[in-house]
Amino acid sequence: MPPESAPLLGTLLHTIGAGSAALCYTPQKALHQWSWQTYWLAQAFFCWLTLPWIVAWLLVPELGAVLAEAPRDAMLKSYLLGVLYGVGGIAFGVSIRYIGFSLTYAIAIGISCALGTLAMPIYKGVLAETLGKAGGSYVIAGVILGAVAIVLTGIAGFRKERELSEKGTPSKFNAHVGLPICIVAGVLSAVFSFSLDAAQPVADVAREHGAGQFEGLVIYLFSNNGAFTTTLVYIIFLAQRQNTWGEFLRTRDGSPGLLRNYGLSLATGLMWYGQFFFYGIGHVRMGEFKFSSWAIHMTILILLSALFGFLVGEWRQARRKTVIGMYLALFVLFVAVGIITYGNYLGAEEASPAEPIEETTGH
């Protein structure tokens, strides 16, 4: 049976997942004598390829039967959309190198939030119906407000980087290269919400086999593996061109640190997969307007990543006016999440009560 609608709990779970995503790139700063492509493939091996299968095997009952009964077209469509999302993931990582954490998260995830959330009800032709339901207008308004707030964070982030450049602070900031890549990352990252939706029939089969709140874990077997395919092809190209294959067996200068690099890659993969895990068990609790899960996740991700930027000192030398502008944007983000959650709460109250979550033991 489907889990009981509980939007407040769902938002809390989305917050945990978003926090995991906001921190997932931090281990990269501690890598020793590894090229970007070596690190990226190592973490992708954990996040995109192995963890989805390990976790699904542990928590989804009768996984083999689920995959045997699930519609093949849903699996294929989710996988192919995941391939496109993989391009966005690569672009996201590259963009951070040129325009920093704050601006990359603001622009790329801002685009992803709007496209990945509003495009779904528009594509399915249910936007007008959604607005007419109890709480529906709150959900849509919250999504739009969140998108506006994300734009504000982007403006504040751009001003901060410009001010640091004016003060002579060393910076690798390059908007001419980073911004186009960041926009591509945002558009293709939005495809992930379509990949998740495409594989919903597979999750429905998992529910029939008693998966309960973990029904969505089977979706990542296709969406994430599709993203890994793209990553693998791209990294093979880079490693071949730059002759970095040897880094998987030793650091560039032969010094100690190889095991640490793999540990950091594992940490990145665990945190990145963590966002999907908590997204899945949060999504099934959002009730009538599940499509808003993407907006909630993305908005909270922006909020937490911006706060992380403050904690690591990215804003220490920014002007007071710019910092105040960022605080204002963060407040609007917080309000947007509250409005979307309240809309989901109203929708859950209006809907018929669902059956309680079944207890599952996994394998």
Look at residue 95 in the predicted model and tell me its pLDDT: 86
The two tokens of residue 67 are: 């995959």
Q: Is 85 exposed, middle or buried, given 0-12, 13-18 or 19+ CB atoms closer than 10 A?
A: buried
Residue range 84-104, pLDDT digits in tens: 998 987 888 788 778 776 677
Residue range 99-155, pLDDT digits in tens: 776 677 777 877 888 788 887 788 777 777 777 787 888 888 988 888 888 878 878
Q: What is the rounded distance in angstroms from the CA atom of residue 191 to the CA atom of residue 88?
A: 9
Interacting residues of 268 by C-beta distance below 8 A, sequence separation 6+: 24, 25, 27, 28, 39, 43, 46, 47
Interacting residues of 350 by C-beta distance below 8 A, sequence separation 6+: 133, 134, 135, 288
Q: What is the pTM of this model?
A: 0.80
Q: What is the rounded distance in angstroms from the CA atom of residue 54 to the CA atom of residue 357?
A: 23
Q: What is the rounded distance in angstroms from the CA atom of residue 167 to the CA atom of residue 307?
A: 23
Interacting residues of 173 by C-beta distance below 8 A, sequence separation 6+: 98, 99, 100, 161, 164, 165
Query: Helix 7-23 to helix 258-283 angle, to the nearest 10 degrees?
Result: 160
Look at residue 361 in the predicted model and tell me its pLDDT: 39
Look at residue 351 in the predicted model and tell me its pLDDT: 63
Look at residue 123 in the predicted model and tell me its pLDDT: 75
Task: Answer whether residue 357 shows pLDDT above 50.
Answer: no
